[in-house]
Structure 1
């Protein structure tokens, strides 16, 4: 067959083809190829290999040198593989099948292009459209199941996977998620997927003032931003049009994402190279992905709200517990906490066959102090004495409590009588060392305390009431023998 006739035959075939005679420098593109990639028939009668780029759809690396399908076919190797084929007008995910045809001694190198993508899916084929809907529903189900119980930590990864799956399924060049700040003043590109050979812009699209994109935001607030041809954006939005063109965007489709009752952001996708007319299925699929992400974000907000309420409840209970067990004036344990702690510590000391000592402490002549200096000064004294008691006890398990009025108590687990006397004498000296003036006191006109000690040894022959009574009697002896001293 004559080469011109072979050329004419290949041109008329309904399947997209790139072909040339071996040794020619440029490829011919048949009508089906031109239509598939949106190339004007008048602009591309033949194409240099450099006009087209092949990318690995998984690694997104360009296939060059021996990996380039051109080179493989020229060498006579099999050149059949999935690629991202990028033309000056449009890039598509497709399967290329290279073959060599010999006709009257002339070898023709032919690439058959099989594109299962948005272009072929929107060509009016009802069965293809139905199959595509089924495949999309399967895709949506897959990611919905992942997102149902996604934690905040897992969300970033799953969103990235969802965008990639959607971008590849719909064969767009870029797919992304923008999120608004709480006050709606800023928006940031938080997640982005790009096809092989497409420049990412996520790093440049952070904290963008929403007031600078009024045309886009106005449409997003109504649910959808759909532009088939960016060059047709009106001059009133020229700044936005130029921003899109700077990113080589020719067609753009964005759908609002709602969460927590307000606009959280939007999901969008772009076509670069040449304009594309978005179909009803494109819009439906993007909206459904956006709804899925919105529902997920809503679930996470709900979980965060529940967690916050739980933490607030825990903190409220902690505060109530503190109020129930802490003396309001001095900030140390109150009588209630003292009673429960003594009961617990005494039982534990019996089990361990260990000693436990109890100090009962009384501020000497406190009524006289109140009468002379006033109740405000008296409250201040109680606070200072309480702090001194806490500072004087060094054991991590010791408990200092306000026993009542001007009386205090100290529980000293694992403490013998001799060791308790050392601590009690230190308390007496430390309180006196505060230098609080008390004219009615016989101890150099200074405020002092008296302390009674009771110790439960390892015989466990006393209960709490008996131990307190024993300490109270020792305190009475300390007071009756001159005060400002320790008795056991």
Structure 2
């Protein structure tokens, strides 16, 4: 008995397996009831090759004409490859195998389309569930090990990998992570994975007001939002239904993520094109992924807090150190920092073959100034003098310090006697130009200063260091002080060395 083409179509259509078939060199494609059931197809108005699209499951690129399964089966006689198969109702990662069947009347191309994971569905349903559970635990273990020691910089990439791994394992169309802002008034899509042929929406889903989705928020606040069929949502979910339909979402599953006992956001996945009844294990698996991300985010959150505290402690110590080395009135170095710097610079300059100069500056008749104008005015004068001394020095290594009371000191590493005398003259001139009135002054009744100077060439400095050792700083200070004493005896408002 010979079967006609119509008989062959009728027989193959009734097959419970997921099958696509067509005549060679014809565009019209037929599918079995098993294919319709697998892909959620309830009504067919006829198929052709353009009705069913094939994508590379890795690159997500649409399959080229010469790599389509029907083409390979026709030209090579057989096909066995992985594809992302998309119909008008559903898309899934599938293994496609098949070839050419020859009949007495014509040749047919027959493809067996097996969704990934269907090989776990064996006669023993319990064994199938166990197999799926093993695969998931392997997936979870892989990403858990990556997340344990993940740095902040690595986290985004690992989350993307976890979403992709879970999305492909669950054969969903989209998998994503949303984060709430601090007061949960806004939520943003921070990570998204989409299957081949699926439109991403991450750019459009930023800073969304949570108040615009009240039905969703009321459920996710309790930990779970599950919709098998978006069309069945109640009227109270009209806003959510509109958003889902706009994105062609038919089924959606989301679970809350907690960090430090506070809602951080949620992880979710979508089915596009046809309703899907979420199983208990779907919910369990997504919850475990959410818990894994929540634990990692909490760990990073705690690490950030610890890092912030460490930075704050370092900053506090830095400020304390600065306070310990800075004069509270003038804002320049204090005696403590001066003593430390002078010892360091003496050793550095003698080791590097550099000259070093030291200036001691005293405000002339400052006691009388305080008596005549008051201590507040005296403090203002000291601040102005400190600023003028700092502006009179040019070297980046120079240090201006308040040595005590109305006395200041300047360390000039790498500065010889000639340059030091020029700086001293500049200081005398700049202080005079401040035009600070001082009735007790002999110089146009203006406030002035006196400068004592000591300069050491490298050879002289090395000799002093070798003779005096740790006392070298005191030796220089004594000589600078003697020079300052001479300047005062010579009438003040001058420098002596």
TM-score bucket of the superposed structures, by smaller chain = over 0.9
Distance 2:88 2:291 in 1: 34
What per-residue deviation string (whole Å, max 9, x for no partner) do you get for residues 266-300 of structure 1?
Answer: 11100011100001111111111111111221122
What per-residue deviation string (whole Å, max 9, x for no partner) do you get for residues 5-42 of structure 1?
Answer: 645553454432122444554333223222212223xx
Residue 58 of structure 1 is matched in structure 2 by 58
* 1:480 counterpart = 2:489: yes
Residue 18 of structure 1 is matched in structure 2 by 20
Residue 397 of structure 2 is matched in structure 1 by 397
CA spacing shift, 1:381–1:121, aligned 2, 3 Å: farther
Q: How does 1:343-362 map to 2 (within 5 A)?
A: 343-362=343-362
Q: CA deviation at 1:79?
A: 2.8
Distance 2:421 2:63 in 1: 87
Q: Are 1:122 and 1:279, in contact at CA under 8 Å, matched by a contact in 2?
A: no
Q: How does 1:117-156 map to 2 (within 5 A)?
A: 117=117, 125-156=125-156
SS in 2 for 1:329: coil
Q: CA deviation at 1:83?
A: 0.8
What per-residue deviation string (whole Å, max 9, x for no partner) do you get for residues 456-488 of structure 1?
Answer: 332332511121111111111111121111111
Q: CA deviation at 1:239?
A: 1.6
Distance 1:172 1:118 in 2: 14
Residue 293 of structure 2 is matched in structure 1 by 293
What per-residue deviation string (whole Å, max 9, x for no partner) do you get for residues 49-85 of structure 1?
Answer: 3321111112222225333223333445433211111
What per-residue deviation string (whole Å, max 9, x for no partner) do you get for residues 250-276 of structure 1?
Answer: 000001111243111111100011100
TM-score (norm 1): 0.95
Residue 433 of structure 2 is matched in structure 1 by 433
Q: How does 1:405-444 map to 2 (within 5 A)?
A: 405-444=405-444
Q: Are 1:93 and 1:117, in contact at CA under 8 Å, matched by a contact in 2?
A: no
Q: How does 1:273-292 map to 2 (within 5 A)?
A: 273-292=273-292
Distance 1:55 1:345 in 2: 72
Q: CA deviation at 1:337?
A: 0.6
Aligned length: 486
Residue 195 of structure 1 is matched in structure 2 by 195
SS in 2 for 1:184: coil
Residue 29 of structure 2 is matched in structure 1 by 27
CA spacing shift, 1:33–1:440, aligned 2, 3 Å: same
Residue 95 of structure 2 is matched in structure 1 by 95
Distance 2:208 2:427 in 1: 64
Measured on the aligned residues, the alpha-carbon RMSD in Å equals 2.1
CA spacing shift, 1:24–1:416, aligned 2, 3 Å: closer
Which stretch of structure 1 is more off in the superposition, 362-371 or 66-75?
A: 66-75
Q: CA deviation at 1:391?
A: 0.6
Residue 114 of structure 2 is matched in structure 1 by 114
* 1:446 counterpart = 2:446: yes
SS in 2 for 1:415: coil
What per-residue deviation string (whole Å, max 9, x for no partner) do you get for residues 390-427 of structure 1?
Answer: 11111111111111111111111122222222111111
Distance 1:31 1:120 in 2: 21
Distance 2:79 2:420 in 1: 92
Which stretch of structure 1 is more off in the superposition, 478-487 or 291-300?
A: 291-300
Distance 2:29 2:229 in 1: 29
SS in 2 for 1:358: strand
Which stretch of structure 1 is more off in the superposition, 305-314 or 44-53?
A: 44-53
Which stretch of structure 1 is more off in the superposition, 415-424 or 243-252?
A: 415-424
Distance 2:393 2:123 in 1: 86
Q: Are 1:417 and 1:455, in contact at CA under 8 Å, matched by a contact in 2?
A: yes
Residue 2 of structure 1 is matched in structure 2 by 3
TM-score (norm 2): 0.93
Q: CA deviation at 1:118?
A: 7.5
SS in 2 for 1:240: helix
Distance 2:202 2:121 in 1: 29
SS in 2 for 1:57: coil
Structure 2 unaligned blocks of 5 or more: none
Residue 226 of structure 2 is matched in structure 1 by 226
Q: 1:470 aligns with which of 479, 483, 496?
A: 479
CA spacing shift, 1:194–1:215, aligned 2, 3 Å: same
What per-residue deviation string (whole Å, max 9, x for no partner) do you get for residues 113-161 of structure 1?
Answer: 2222479759982212211111111111111122222222222222111
Structure 1 unaligned blocks of 5 or more: none
SS in 2 for 1:450: strand
